[in-house]
Amino acid sequence: MTSDTFAQFRPPAAPPAKARRLPLPLRRALRSPMTVIGLVLVSFHLLLALFAPVIAPYSVSAILTTGLTPPSGAHWLGTDQIGRDYLSRLMSGGRIALLVSLLGVFAAVVTGAVLGLFAGYRGGWLDDLVMRLTDAVMAVPELLLIAVLVLTFGKEIWSLSIVVAIVYTPGVVRVIRARTVGLAAQDFIRAAELRGESLPRILFRELAPNLTGLLAVELAIRCSSAVLKISALSFLGLGISQPTPDWGLMVQEAMTVIFTDPWFLIAPAIGLSSLVIGINFAVDGLARAYGVSETDTNP
């Protein structure tokens, strides 16, 4: 009987778990076929990047034949000039570029958001200083800046990620700052100030939640750009180098056999393009769902 005595004090039984639904903007985005294609491509590439070493038929560095061979039953895409299985290398060709871009851009978005919020809200000389610095970094074309910084930092995964973070932070700062300036003039911020809220609270509790959609779009846009730039760098022979498989590098190597075996160029080109197209199609849907226009991301 004792257990019943306390029944009224116990918390009520949890209501039956409702199926969690996606937020409205995302559900709206999923109605567009282009967005769905984009998301499917991105998921495919993420899974491929994660599991390529497990599902690839051969090791990426194993030398199996003498020189280049055309596609066959044993090697579906043939083997490259050194005699390594091309399909296996193709499957791993986006891993480093994707990893470096994700790490670097994530760091850039976090840093850029904090700086952009701070500069946009406080204004004054600090804002001016941050803006002129972003102007200066952005005046150097991304690919050149990456190439110069790689010369300094090196080509390891960590150094490449740092370089990507440095190159993409200013753009994020500008975008977040522009939106913050608009938000800071609104009544809810005035109200928070009158309540005597602290600066970090106003920045991260009042302002930041209004930037979620924009930040998600920024993350994805910069990621697709970073993948393009890192691949271009490898293509130029200044980035990821042999024996690591990389699509940019594979396109460059295939240019010597473009007359006889154009397929060796087309395969990695499709790999890289489908990844970037997937990201951009997904971003386009995401941006429309959150009401982020092209002019928001190019202030």
Partner 1 sequence: MNPIFSMVLRRLALSGVILLLVAGIVFIGTEVLPGDALEATIPQDERIYYTDEDFDRMRAELGLDRPPLVRFGEMFVNLVTFDFGTTILTREPVIGYIWHPIINSLLMASIAVIVTPLVAIALGAVAALKPGGRRDGIISGVTLFSYSMPDFVVANIFIIVFALQLGLAPAILLIPETAPAWQILSVSVLPVMALIVSGVAYQFRLLRAGMQETLRSEFIERARLSGVPEWRLVLVHALPVALVPMLNGTAQFVAGIVSGVVVIEAVFKFPGIGLELIRAISQREVPTVQAITFLAAFAVIAGNLLADIAVLALDPRARRMTHDK
Applying CB under 8 A, does 221 fall inside the site for partner 1? Answer: no
Among 27, 236, 241, 242, binds partner 1 (CB under 8 A): 236
Applying CB under 8 A, does 265 fall inside the site for partner 1? Answer: yes
Helix/strand/coil for 297: coil
Is residue 111 within 8 Å of 197, Cβ to Cβ? no
Is residue 238 within 8 Å of 150, Cβ to Cβ? yes
Peptide linkage before 15 cis (omega within 30 of 0): no
| C-alpha span between 7 and 1 (Å, rounded) | 10
Name the residue nearer to partner 1 (CB basis): 49 or 254. 254
- Please give the residues from 4 up to 63 whose contact with partner 1 meets the rule CB under 8 A: 34
Please tell me what DSSP assigns to residue 12.
Answer: P
Applying CB under 8 A, does 126 fall inside the site for partner 1? Answer: no
Applying CB under 8 A, does 228 fall inside the site for partner 1? Answer: yes
Which residue in 181, 186, 147 sits closest to 164, CA to CA?
Answer: 147
Written as six digits, the tokens of 33 are 């076929």
- Please give the residues from 130 up to 159 whose contact with partner 1 meets the rule CB under 8 A: 131-133, 135-145, 147-149, 151-152
Is residue 218 within 8 Å of 294, Cβ to Cβ? no
Torsion of CA 275, 276, 277, 278, to 10 degrees: 50
Name the residue nearer to partner 1 (CB basis): 53 or 299. 299
Span near partner 1 by CB under 8 A; candidates 24-32, 66-74, 81-89, 258-266? 258-266
Name the residue nearer to partner 1 (CB basis): 87 or 137. 137
The footprint of partner 1 (CB under 8 A) covers 34, 131-133, 135-145, 147-149, 151-152, 224, 228-229, 231-232, 235-238, 248, 251-252, 255, 258-259, 262, 265-266, 269, 272-273, 276-277, 279-281, 284, 293-295, 298-299
